[in-house]
Amino acid sequence: MSNMTLRPDPALVQVFLYREPVDFRKSYRGLSALVELELGHNPFSGHLYVFTNRQHNKIKCLLWEDNGFVLYYKALAEEKFRWPKPEEEVVTLTGQQINWLLDGYDISLMKGHKKLHYEALF
């Protein structure tokens, strides 16, 4: 038996992480309404939208794929997702970062060193 997993494509350029917890009784219809009405985004754009519940132990991902919505759901047995707490309503991630989040990493700490810009004095 192989170790097959269903995961968002690491090559995704824009993944939108919705900061506020949502009611997980929402299906693709309710989540796509949040994307359109609260974020002002087009839910049919092909971008991935990620939501969590109040306890941060579940994640739902919403993606329009050619002719229908794909809804990815992950519920943790014991741990919690380390959800970022920025001031913005939505956070933009890469496909690789959403996979790190699904693996349990704190993506807010995964920032590279700041870029330094020096100029010669003469």
What is the secondary structure of the chain as a DSSP string? ---------TT-S-EEEE-S---TT--HHHHHHHHHHTS---TTSS-EEEEE-TTS-EEEEEEEETTEEEEEEEE-SS--------SSSEEEE-HHHHHHHHTT--GGG---PPP-------
The pLDDT, as a whole number, for residue 87 is 67
The pLDDT, as a whole number, for residue 116 is 63
Cα(79)–Cα(18) distance, integer angstroms: 20
Q: What is the pTM of this model?
A: 0.80
Cα(46)–Cα(23) distance, integer angstroms: 23
pLDDT along the chain (122 residues), means of 10: 69 87 95 95 94 94 94 90 73 86 79 66 72
The pLDDT, as a whole number, for residue 86 is 59
The pLDDT, as a whole number, for residue 40 is 94
The pLDDT, as a whole number, for residue 111 is 58
Where do we find the tokens 């350029």?
13
Hey, which residues does 61 pair with through a beta bridge? 50, 72
Structure tokens at 14: 């824009």
The pLDDT, as a whole number, for residue 1 is 45
